[in-house]
Amino acid sequence: MGADPLITTVRISMLAICMAAAARSDYYTLTVRDWHWIKWGAPTALLLGLELASNDVGFANIAMVFALIAAFSYCFMPPPDISIAKNWDGVQASLFLTYAIGFAGLLGGASSHHDVELVDLIVGEESAEATLWWSLLGALITIVVFIYAWRLRLIQGSADVKALVLVTLMFPSWAFLPDQMFLQTDSIPRIPPSMALFIWAGAAFILAAPLIFVQNLSLGNISSIQDLKMAWHATKKPISDIGESPSWILTDVIENEGEIAVVNRILPIRKPISEAGVSLDLEALHSMGVEHVWVATKHPFIVYLFFAILPLLLFGDPISSIIK
């Protein structure tokens, strides 16, 4: 099943708007409400279901959409407890039905499409229905990997995981994306689009450190060994320039054995600048003769996910490109 240009354009537009709104919220308020992901998840799932239904891909594939929705819902609520089924409300009953249909899609697809050759799947020699079912199964496994990475604290932010799960629901496989302009690798196995987005975002996140260091170097903020260790992830600002912004003051006043000293911390231990009590900290620093402090600005990973959309569309999977 090829990507429909109109539906693909709608999907990409939805992804860009959703991620931009989430990035803005996470940057300015340090959080993204669950309702944001649910609000965008509903039309995403509806669009996927209608697209598959209109292409007559079989019951198992349509039911697999419910399996993806059930996995997406796990980010917000646990599966319904059958032992208390008589106390379920409408939401829990609907969720149970979603799990049931999704499980039927797993069983039906496994029964119909279990006898396939991996090479034929990769090169597109299998039937369209079989290829689609295995792609949707791969998307389901991808969601499970993201959720367990979050549970194991391998991925820290819950909003980051919810964003990646939503991207998986939006683009279960590369068949739902337009052909990449560069580095196309049709004959090489590719990681799922959402994982490719994660890698592109991670690469940008890693590149941020040397860029911040070069910025500090050009501004003359590095004059000591202590500054050298801070310059990779923070910037030095005059106390008078620090306002209500989503960042942390890393320069602090401490008391050690009766002596007051100014220290620079690698990691923040206080609440963001926008929280109460910061003015007292700044007054204490000013009284010690400190005019400039090191400040770490919050860089939400969702911001990097948003900017990673472009290389995903242009270059596709970075791993398969390297292999090629």
The per-residue pLDDT for 74 is 94
Task: Enumerate the β-bridge partners of residue 247.
Answer: 297
- Better pLDDT: 67 or 285: 67
Residue 276 is classified by DSSP as: T
Looking at the structure, do residues 155 and 277 belong to the same domain, yes or no?
no
The per-residue pLDDT for 149 is 94
Looking at the structure, do residues 58 and 109 belong to the same domain, yes or no?
yes
- Better pLDDT: 151 or 183: 151
Instruction: Mark which of 133, 162, 178 sits at the end of a domain.
Output: 178
What are the angstrom distances between the C-alpha of 47 and each of 6, 11, 14, 40?
A: 12, 9, 11, 11
The per-residue pLDDT for 30 is 77
Looking at the structure, do residues 260 and 112 belong to the same domain, yes or no?
no
Q: In total, how many domains does the chain have?
A: 2
Cβ–Cβ < 8 Å for 168, 48: no
Give the Cα separation of 26 and 133 in Å (integer).
35
Looking at the structure, do residues 237 and 315 belong to the same domain, yes or no?
yes
The per-residue pLDDT for 269 is 63
Q: Does position 13 have pLDDT exceeding 90, yes or no? A: yes
Structure tokens at 211: 């860029």
Looking at the structure, do residues 167 and 237 belong to the same domain, yes or no?
no
Looking at the structure, do residues 151 and 228 belong to the same domain, yes or no?
no
Looking at the structure, do residues 169 and 202 belong to the same domain, yes or no?
no
Region of residue 289 (left: phi > 0; alpha: psi -120 to 50; beta: else)? left
Question: 168 pLDDT band (50/70/90 cuts)?
Answer: very high
Instruction: Mark which of 178, 194, 221 sits at the end of a domain.
Output: 178
Contacts 24+ apart (CB under 8 A), 228-231: 229/264, 229/266, 230/264, 230/266, 230/294
Q: Does position 275 have pLDDT exceeding 70, yes or no? A: no
Average pLDDT, the chain: 85
Rg of the chain taking only CA atoms, in angstroms: 24
Question: 17 pLDDT band (50/70/90 cuts)?
Answer: very high
Question: 76 pLDDT band (50/70/90 cuts)?
Answer: very high
Q: Does position 228 have pLDDT exceeding 90, yes or no? A: no
Alpha helix locations (H) across the chain?
A: 5-29, 34-54, 59-73, 90-113, 118-123, 128-151, 158-170, 193-218, 225-230, 278-287, 301-307, 309-315, 318-323
Give mean pLDDT, residues 239-262.
72
Give mean pLDDT, residues 97-124.
85
Give the Cα separation of 271 and 249 in Å (integer).
9
Looking at the structure, do residues 252 and 273 belong to the same domain, yes or no?
yes
Is the pTM higher than 0.75? The answer reads yes
Q: Does position 190 have pLDDT exceeding 90, yes or no? A: no
**Residue 146 belongs to what domain range?**
5-178
Give the Cα separation of 228 and 221 in Å (integer).
9
